[in-house]
Amino acid sequence: MNLERVSNEEKLELCRKYYLGGFLLLPFLWLVNVVWFSLYLSQVCHLSRYVIRSAVGAALWGLGLGVWVGLFQTRRNQWGALGDALSFTQPMGEP
């Protein structure tokens, strides 16, 4: 989709749809909002409302996932059976 050929109203509509969609546990929609539409903040009215909220949402998700991944990678071998149950692939030769 080439955003340059889309009218401003449609851009706003798209941004709003993505913003609402992100609440269905789809943080990448928020990330897409931020990345795509931040270039058009000055052109389209009321776009900033959705872009900023999406940015906040994406940042929170990023932080949460980052913390979880960090914990998992560093602490998994201390979690015993729980760690193995949470893993998709088992590391070979590591506890």
Partner 1 sequence: LFCGSWGSFPAPFPRPCVGNSVERKIYIPLNHTAPCVRLLNATHQIGCQSSLSGDTGVIHVVEKEEDLEWALSKGPHPPYMILLNGNLFSRSGFLGLGTPKFGIKSHFPCPGLYSEEHGPEFAHCNGSVWNPLGSGVSYEDFPFPIFLLQDANETETIKECFRAHNVPAVPGAAPQFPLCAMQLQSHMHAAASTVTCMRRSSLQSTFSINPEIVCDPLLDYNVWSSLQPINASGKVEPEKRLILAATRVDSHSFFWNVAPGAEAAVGSFVSLLAAAQALQAAPGALGLPQNVLFVFFQGETFDYIGSSRLVFDMEQEKFPLRLENIGAFLELGQVSLRNDSVLWMHTDPISRRNQSVDSQVRDLLDVLNRSSPGSGVSLADPGVSQPLPPSSFQRFLRARSIPGVVLSDHRGQFHNRYFQSIYDTAENIGMHYPEGLTPEEQLEFVTETAEALAQVGTLLARALFSLAGGTDPTESIRADPKTVTRLLYGFLLNSNNSWFQSLIKPDQKGILGPFPQHYVAVASPTNTTQLLQAVLGNLTGIRLNLSREECQDPGKNPALQSELYEYWWVQGPLDGNSTSRIPGCVRSGVRLSPALSPAFELRRWDSREFSTWTESRWKDIRARIFLVASRELELLTLSLGMLVLLLSLLCTFIPRIPNPQFPNSQTPKCPNPQIPNSQSQIPKS
Interacting stretch for partner 1, rule CB under 8 A, among 21-29, 55-63, 64-72, 81-89?
A: 81-89
86 binds partner 1 (CB under 8 A): no
**Contact (Cβ atoms closer than 8 angstroms) between residue 26 and residue 54:** no
Build a one-symbol-per-residue string for 47-76: x at contacts with partner 1 by CB under 8 A, - elsewhere: ------------------------------
Q: Find the largest Cα–Cα distance for the chain.
A: 57
Query: Using CB under 8 A, which of 26, 35, 39, 71 touches partner 1?
Result: 39
Residue 19 and residue 57: Cα distance in Å, rounded?
9
* Shortest distance, position 19 Cβ to partner 1, whole Å: 12
**Contact (Cβ atoms closer than 8 angstroms) between residue 50 and residue 11:** no
Torsion of CA 4, 15, 25, 53, to 10 degrees: 120
Contact residues for partner 1, defined by CB under 8 A: 4, 7-9, 12-13, 16, 39-40, 42-46, 77, 80-81, 84-85, 90-95
